[in-house]
Amino acid sequence: MKEYELTVLIHPDLEVDIEKPLTKVRNLITANGGNIIKEDIWGKKRLAYKIKNEDFGVYVYFDVKLPSDAPLKISNILNISDEVLRYLLVAADLKGRKALLEAKENASKTDASEEE
Protein backbone atom coordinates (compact mmCIF):
# COMPACT_ATOMS: atom_id res chain seq x y z
CA MET A 1 0.00 0.00 0.00
CA LYS A 2 1.10 3.52 -0.79
CA GLU A 3 0.84 6.59 1.44
CA TYR A 4 -1.36 9.51 0.38
CA GLU A 5 -2.38 12.89 1.74
CA LEU A 6 -6.08 13.71 1.50
CA THR A 7 -7.34 17.22 2.23
CA VAL A 8 -11.11 17.63 2.22
CA LEU A 9 -13.01 20.93 2.17
CA ILE A 10 -16.37 20.32 3.84
CA HIS A 11 -19.46 22.53 3.46
CA PRO A 12 -19.42 25.22 6.20
CA ASP A 13 -23.05 24.57 7.24
CA LEU A 14 -21.95 21.12 8.44
CA GLU A 15 -19.44 22.54 10.94
CA VAL A 16 -21.92 22.12 13.81
CA ASP A 17 -22.17 18.37 13.22
CA ILE A 18 -18.78 17.74 11.59
CA GLU A 19 -18.71 14.09 12.68
CA LYS A 20 -21.38 13.04 10.18
CA PRO A 21 -19.47 14.04 6.99
CA LEU A 22 -16.17 12.92 8.55
CA THR A 23 -17.65 9.49 9.24
CA LYS A 24 -18.64 9.25 5.57
CA VAL A 25 -15.09 10.09 4.47
CA ARG A 26 -13.56 7.67 6.99
CA ASN A 27 -15.92 4.88 5.87
CA LEU A 28 -15.10 5.63 2.23
CA ILE A 29 -11.39 5.20 2.93
CA THR A 30 -11.75 1.99 4.93
CA ALA A 31 -14.34 0.49 2.54
CA ASN A 32 -11.78 0.78 -0.27
CA GLY A 33 -9.13 -1.08 1.74
CA GLY A 34 -7.34 1.95 3.15
CA ASN A 35 -6.02 2.80 6.61
CA ILE A 36 -6.14 6.23 8.23
CA ILE A 37 -2.76 7.03 9.77
CA LYS A 38 -3.48 10.58 10.94
CA GLU A 39 -6.44 12.94 10.94
CA ASP A 40 -6.28 16.66 11.61
CA ILE A 41 -9.23 19.07 11.60
CA TRP A 42 -7.91 22.50 10.61
CA GLY A 43 -11.25 24.20 11.19
CA LYS A 44 -13.38 26.71 9.33
CA LYS A 45 -11.40 29.05 7.07
CA ARG A 46 -12.26 31.80 4.62
CA LEU A 47 -11.77 30.74 1.00
CA ALA A 48 -9.71 32.75 -1.47
CA TYR A 49 -12.65 32.60 -3.90
CA LYS A 50 -16.21 31.30 -3.81
CA ILE A 51 -16.69 27.57 -4.32
CA LYS A 52 -20.28 26.49 -4.97
CA ASN A 53 -21.42 29.94 -3.70
CA GLU A 54 -19.64 29.47 -0.34
CA ASP A 55 -17.11 31.90 1.18
CA PHE A 56 -15.99 29.52 3.95
CA GLY A 57 -15.16 25.84 4.30
CA VAL A 58 -14.04 23.38 6.97
CA TYR A 59 -10.64 21.88 6.19
CA VAL A 60 -9.80 18.32 7.25
CA TYR A 61 -6.46 16.63 6.54
CA PHE A 62 -5.85 12.87 6.44
CA ASP A 63 -2.69 10.79 6.09
CA VAL A 64 -3.84 7.50 4.59
CA LYS A 65 -2.47 4.26 3.18
CA LEU A 66 -4.39 3.05 0.14
CA PRO A 67 -4.15 0.13 -2.29
CA SER A 68 -3.44 1.02 -5.92
CA ASP A 69 -7.07 0.99 -7.12
CA ALA A 70 -8.54 3.00 -4.21
CA PRO A 71 -7.58 6.60 -5.17
CA LEU A 72 -9.71 6.52 -8.32
CA LYS A 73 -12.70 5.05 -6.47
CA ILE A 74 -12.40 7.59 -3.65
CA SER A 75 -12.06 10.48 -6.13
CA ASN A 76 -15.14 9.39 -8.05
CA ILE A 77 -17.27 9.32 -4.89
CA LEU A 78 -15.92 12.59 -3.45
CA ASN A 79 -16.66 14.32 -6.79
CA ILE A 80 -20.39 13.69 -6.41
CA SER A 81 -20.66 14.15 -2.65
CA ASP A 82 -22.80 17.09 -1.48
CA GLU A 83 -20.89 17.48 1.80
CA VAL A 84 -17.52 17.95 0.11
CA LEU A 85 -16.86 21.25 -1.70
CA ARG A 86 -13.37 20.25 -2.87
CA TYR A 87 -10.71 17.66 -2.10
CA LEU A 88 -7.08 17.02 -2.92
CA LEU A 89 -5.67 13.49 -2.93
CA VAL A 90 -1.93 13.29 -3.63
CA ALA A 91 0.83 10.77 -3.08
CA ALA A 92 2.79 11.56 0.10
CA ASP A 93 6.27 13.06 -0.30
CA LEU A 94 8.19 10.66 1.93
CA LYS A 95 11.57 12.29 1.22
CA GLY A 96 10.17 15.68 2.16
CA ARG A 97 8.71 14.30 5.40
CA LYS A 98 12.04 12.71 6.31
CA ALA A 99 13.91 15.97 5.64
CA LEU A 100 11.40 17.89 7.77
CA LEU A 101 11.80 15.46 10.68
CA GLU A 102 15.59 15.70 10.46
CA ALA A 103 15.41 19.49 10.44
CA LYS A 104 13.20 19.47 13.55
CA GLU A 105 15.59 17.07 15.33
CA ASN A 106 18.58 19.25 14.45
CA ALA A 107 16.76 22.36 15.67
CA SER A 108 15.87 20.70 18.99
CA LYS A 109 19.48 19.54 19.44
CA THR A 110 20.69 23.08 18.75
CA ASP A 111 18.20 24.51 21.26
CA ALA A 112 19.27 21.97 23.90
CA SER A 113 22.98 22.73 23.44
CA GLU A 114 22.35 26.51 23.65
CA GLU A 115 20.60 26.10 27.01
CA GLU A 116 23.64 24.41 28.53
Query: Which one, of 5, 35, 1, 12, lies nearest residue 84 by Cα?
Result: 12
Report pTM. Answer: 0.80
Residues ≥6 apart with Cβ < 8 Å to 46:
55, 56
Domain 2-115 sits in CATH 3.40.50.620 = no
Tell me the helix, strand and coil percentages in the chain, rounded to 5.
40, 40, 15
Residue boundaries of the structural domains of the chain: 2-115
Residue 59 phi, psi (nearest 5): -90, 135
Q: Give the pLDDT confidence score for residue 94 in this predicted structure.
A: 81
Question: d(Cα 29, Cα 50) in Å, to the nearest integer?
Answer: 27
Q: What is the pLDDT along the chain (116 residues), one digit of tens a residue?
A: 899 999 999 999 998 899 999 999 999 999 999 999 999 999 999 999 999 999 999 999 999 999 999 999 999 999 998 899 999 999 988 888 788 888 888 887 776 666 65
